[in-house]
Amino acid sequence: RKSQRNHIVNHAFQLFIKQGIQNVSMIDIASAAGIQRRTLYNYYNNKEELAMEIMKCTYMGDVAKEFYQEITMESGYKEVAFYFTRLYEYMVIHTDVVNFWVQFDYYFQAGYDNESYEAFIMKNLATPSSFARSFLKGIEDGSIKPIYKENYAKYFYAMVMAMIGMAQRIIF
């Protein structure tokens, strides 16, 4: 069952980065994966659910490993800078993933329920523990302004989106 799910995710990922999420149907995904539509629907209710699964796999998989890696530097700011440097290095190497992230953000920002989208982002992408600890350490040691403490997850999300935008311009 897990291998079938991975098979579907891999084919959907390729379709999404080549054609854009908005241009891909569940029929297209089933066809590319070589499965019946009903089999696809046994795993995913719609392409939005599948796209969110891919986002979790790409971001919370390899990328999260960098953000969950514990580091110790003289200031929280330097630790945060380290994490973002690693994220940038990952994006330069994994251009297909950056392409998917751009497609994902465009699709869900443009026409999907924004409350569900923001809830998904905040729950799954904007709360890596090592980053959070470094960010809060920076506030405590004075290397990051204390005004950011209350909504640090939203600031993190904004910083990641800015980096993805920058990487997109550099890479593509």
pLDDT of residue 128: 54
Instruction: Report residues of the chain scoring pLDDT below 50.
Output: none
pLDDT of residue 37: 94
What are the backbone angles phi and psi of residue 74, rounded to the nearest 5°? -70, -20
Task: State both tokens at 33.
Answer: 């994966």
Render pLDDT for 102-113 as a digit per residue (tens, 0 to 9). Answer: 888 888 777 665
- The greatest distance separating any two alpha carbons of the chain, rounded to the nearest whole angstrom, comes to 57
Closest by CA to 90, choosing from 118, 67, 121, 122, is: 67
Percent of the chain with pLDDT over 70: 81
